[in-house]
Structure 1
C-alpha cells in the first residue's frame, strides 16, 4: 500500500508528506498533552480560572507579533535559499541579525507593557486580579521571542519536525510536568501558579533550542548584522502574520473585555477543539514553505501546481472528517472539561465549519508569502482583521460567545476564498483542482 501511494506522488509532494508525517507525530503528541492539560485546568480552575489563563496567554500571543515583527517567514525563506546555495555565511547572518534585533525589541516591548499595566487596569475597572497574570505574560515575551527565532531557523534549514518537537511539544510537556510537581508537593492550582509554569517552560525551551541549533548548524561562520534586506521583507509580513494572529486570538480577547472571563473560558475550549483541524494545515505549511520558496526561485511552476493540488486534496478530506466528528460527538468531547462547557456545542460546530473552509483552500496564504506577494497577502489580512473586529463587536454584543464564533467563521471563510482567487491570478496556480 505504501509503495502504491509513493508511486502516484511526485518527488516534491512525497518530500512534503515525509516531513509532514514526522512533524505530525510530534504535533499530535503535543496536542494530546495540551488537551489533557486543558481538561485538567477546566475541571480544577473552572470556566473563569481557565478564562484568565487563556486570556492572558492569548494576549501575550498577540503582543508577540510586535516582538517578532514578521521575521519568522523571513528567516525560513532566507535560510532555505542560503542552504540550497550552500552559503553558510548567509545562514549565520540571518540568524544573528534576527537574534539581536528581535531580542532587543522584545525586551523593550515587555518593559513598556509592564510599566503601562497599572494604568490600563485602573481604566479597566473590576479586573485587578489580572495584574500578576498579565505581568507574567509580558516577561514571557522575551524567551518566547528567542525560541520563535531559533524555531524558524531550524524550519528553514529543513529540520521541521525537530523544530516542532521543541517549540510545540516540549513546551506543553514541561507545563504538564510542572502540574504533576504541584500535585506532589501539594501546591495549590491558581491562574497565577499555572502561568508561572508556562513562564519557566519558555525559559527552558530557549536553552534546548540553542543546543539543538548548534548541533544542527556546525559552521564556524559568524555572519554579519544585515538588517535592511530582512526588514524590507519583514514589514509587509508583519501585516500578514500579525493580522493572522490577531484574527485567531481576537475572539477570546474581545470576549474577555466585552463579555466575561467565564465566556472566554468556555469559548476557548470549543476553539481548541475546532482548531485541531488547522493543526494539519500548520504542519503542511511548515513542511511546504521551504519547498515553495526554492521551486518558485527556480521557476518550476508546473511542479508547484501538482504538489499544491495533492496537498490541498488531502487537507480537504481531513477537514471534512473532523467536521462530521464534531457534529456527532461534540457534546461528549466538551463534557470532558466539565458539564459547564457542554453549552459550547454550537460554538464548536460553527468554528469547525470555518476551519473546513480554511483547510479546503489549502496553502494559498503560504503561496503568496513564499512567492513574493506578501504585500498582497498583507492587504487581504488587514481587511480580514478589520472585518473580524467589527463582526465581533456586533455579534458578541447580541449573541455572546456564539456571536464570536460566527464572526470568526465568516472572516476565515471570506478571506481564504479571496486568497484562492489572488493566487490563481498572480501565480497562475489553483490550489483546488476543479
Structure 2
C-alpha cells in the first residue's frame, strides 16, 4: 500500500482537530489537574540538584526518539499494508526479545558500573565493563541469529502457522546482532550521562535510517523492510562505537569478570521475564489470529509506549545518579530524587494517556486502512503503560542499589502471569485478550517492584505527595 494522498491527509488532520475541539472536557481535565500541582515547588526542588536541566534535555531528545519510532510504525504500516506490516512487526518483536536475551542482562549492569565509575574518574573500569559485555553479547547473539535464520521455515510454519513469515525472519535475523551491540554502546553512554548521544544511538539513528530506506527505495514487502532494518542496525552499531570512543577520558580502574556476572546473571532472568511480559501476548496472538490483527496489536503496543516515553527520558538521567547516591550512602537524596521524578513523569504522561483513551480509533487510523478497528487495543495498553509510569523508576532503583535479585523475583511473577493470561484470554477474545494480558502483567510487575523498593530502600514511590 502507498502513502495517503494529500487530500486524504488534509481530511484526516481536519477530522482529528474537529474531534479534539469537540471534546473540551479532556482539556479541562488536564487543566484542572495541572492547577492542583505546585509547579514552582517542583521546579525549585529539581533545580537544586540540576535534575531539571538534564530531565528537560532528556525529555526533548526522547520526544524526538518517540516521534522517530512512531513515524517508523506509520511508514511501515502505510507502505506494507496491514497484512505485510503484521509479518514485519511480528518478526521485529522476535528480534527485540532475542536481542534482549542475547545481551544477558548486561544493559543495566553497564549503566550501574559506568554510573558509579565515572564520578571517580575510573575510565579503565568503564572500558572494561563494556569490552567484556560486547564479548559476551557477540558470543550469544551471533549463534542466536544463525538459529533464527536456519529455523525460519520451522518457526513460520510450525510455531506461528504463517508460511510467509519465513523469508521475513531470514532477512531480519542479522538485526539481532546489530541491535544487541549498539544497545550496549547506548547503555555505556547513558552511564556516562551522555543523554543525547545515548538516545541517538539506541533510538533515533536506526529509525531514521529505516525511514530513509523505506521512502527512498519505495520498499513494498516485509522482506525488504526486514533487510533494511538489519542493515540499519549494523550501521548504527558502527556509529555508536564512534560516539562512545569520543566520550571516554583517561584513567584507571577495572571491573572483573566475576563482578560482571554477579550483577548481570540475576538481571538476565529479569530481561527474559520482562520481555515475556511485554511480548508474550503478541507472540501467542501471532499463532491464533490473522496477520492484520497482529499488526493492529503491534501498532497499538508501540503507540501506547508513547505514554511511558517520559519514564524512559527520566530514567536516562536518574539511573546513574541512583547508583552514585546509593554508593555514597545518600539515601535521603535518593528518596527525594525518586519521588520528584515520579511527580514529573505523571505530569507529562497524563495528557498523552487521556488523548489515547478518548481518540483511540482516530489515532489508529493514522496507520492506514484496517487499523482503526484496533482502538480498543490502544486504550487497554495505554492504561497498562500509565501504571508503569505512575509507579516510577522502580526497576532502576532496585538495580542501581544492588538489589537485582529482588527485581528478578518480581518478574518471575509477572512473566509467567503474562504467558498464562495470554493462553487463557487470546483463544477467547483474540487480540483484545492479548492486550488485556499484557496490561495486567505490566501493572503487576511494577506494583510488586514498588513493594520491594519500600522494603529495601524504605520509601514508597507512589507517595509522591512527600516529594
User: Does residue 421 of structure 1 match 2:458?
Assistant: no
Tell me, in whole angstroms, the C-alpha distance in 2 between the residues paired with 1:206 and 1:76: 18
Could you tell me how far 1:112 is from its partner in structure 2? 3.0
Q: SS where residue 250 of structure 2 aligns? A: coil
Question: Corresponding residue for 1:32?
Answer: 67
Could you tell me how far 1:289 is from its partner in structure 2? 0.7
Could you tell me how far 1:10 is from its partner in structure 2? 5.6
Alpha-carbon displacement from aligned partner over 1:365-419 (angstroms, at most 9, x marks no partner)? 2111111111111111011010011111111111111111111111122221221
Question: Corresponding residue for 1:170?
Answer: 205
Matches within 5 A, 1:360-371: 360-371=390-401
Question: Corresponding residue for 1:319?
Answer: 349
Question: Corresponding residue for 2:215?
Answer: 180
Q: Between Structure 1 and Structure 2, how many residues are aligned?
A: 427
Question: Corresponding residue for 2:234?
Answer: 203
Call closer, same or farther: CA 1:4–1:418 in 2, change over 3 Å: closer
Q: 1:55 aligns with which of 80, 85, 90?
A: 90
Alpha-carbon displacement from aligned partner over 1:148-182 (angstroms, at most 9, x marks no partner)? 11111111111122110122111111111112221
Q: 2:166 aligns with which of 98, 112, 131?
A: 131
Could you tell me how far 1:77 is from its partner in structure 2? 0.9
Could you tell me how far 1:273 is from its partner in structure 2? 1.8
Alpha-carbon displacement from aligned partner over 1:309-348 (angstroms, at most 9, x marks no partner)? 1111122233322222112222211111224211111111
Could you tell me how far 1:216 is from its partner in structure 2? 1.0
Q: TM-score if structure 1 supplies the norm length?
A: 0.93
Q: TM-score if structure 2 supplies the norm length?
A: 0.86
Q: Residues 27 and 165 of structure 1 are in contact (CA less than 8 Å); yes or no, is this contact kept in structure 2? A: no
Structure 2, unpaired ranges of 5+: 1-37
Question: Corresponding residue for 1:140?
Answer: 175
Question: Corresponding residue for 1:192?
Answer: 223
User: Does residue 102 of structure 1 match 2:109?
Assistant: no
Question: Corresponding residue for 2:195?
Answer: 160
Tell me, in whole angstroms, the C-alpha distance in 1 between the residues paired with 2:155 and 2:372: 34
Q: Residues 27 and 169 of structure 1 are in contact (CA less than 8 Å); yes or no, is this contact kept in structure 2? A: no
User: Does residue 64 of structure 1 match 2:99?
Assistant: yes
Could you tell me how far 1:218 is from its partner in structure 2? 4.2
User: Does residue 397 of structure 1 match 2:397?
Assistant: no
Q: SS where residue 66 of structure 1 aligns? A: helix
Alpha-carbon displacement from aligned partner over 1:190-221 (angstroms, at most 9, x marks no partner)? 00111111111111101111111111114387
Question: Corresponding residue for 1:332?
Answer: 362
Could you tell me how far 1:279 is from its partner in structure 2? 0.9
Call closer, same or farther: CA 1:4–1:313 in 2, change over 3 Å: closer
Q: Residues 182 and 189 of structure 1 are in contact (CA less than 8 Å); yes or no, is this contact kept in structure 2? A: no
Q: 1:260 aligns with which of 290, 295, 307?
A: 290
Call closer, same or farther: CA 1:91–1:41 in 2, change over 3 Å: closer
Q: Residues 255 and 396 of structure 1 are in contact (CA less than 8 Å); yes or no, is this contact kept in structure 2? A: yes
Q: Residues 281 and 363 of structure 1 are in contact (CA less than 8 Å); yes or no, is this contact kept in structure 2? A: yes
Question: Corresponding residue for 2:35?
Answer: none
Question: Corresponding residue for 2:127?
Answer: 92
Could you tell me how far 1:125 is from its partner in structure 2? 7.6
Could you tell me how far 1:110 is from its partner in structure 2? 1.8
Q: 2:332 aligns with which of 295, 299, 302?
A: 302
Alpha-carbon displacement from aligned partner over 1:118-166 (angstroms, at most 9, x marks no partner)? 4444534842221221122221111222111111111111112211012
Alpha-carbon displacement from aligned partner over 1:244-267 (angstroms, at most 9, x marks no partner)? 122112222221112222211011
User: Does residue 353 of structure 1 match 2:353?
Assistant: no
Could you tell me how far 1:106 is from its partner in structure 2? 1.5
Tell me, in whole angstroms, the C-alpha distance in 1 between the residues paired with 2:249 and 2:149: 38
The answer to which of 125-134 and 326-335 deviates more is 125-134
Call closer, same or farther: CA 1:27–1:10 in 2, change over 3 Å: closer
Alpha-carbon displacement from aligned partner over 1:273-317 (angstroms, at most 9, x marks no partner)? 211011111121121110001101111111111111111112223
Structure 1, unpaired ranges of 5+: none
Question: Corresponding residue for 2:45?
Answer: 8
Could you tell me how far 1:43 is from its partner in structure 2? 2.5
Tell me, in whole angstroms, the C-alpha distance in 2 between the residues paired with 1:414 and 1:180: 40
Q: SS where residue 217 of structure 1 aligns? A: coil
Tell me, in whole angstroms, the C-alpha distance in 1 between the residues paired with 2:260 and 2:283: 31
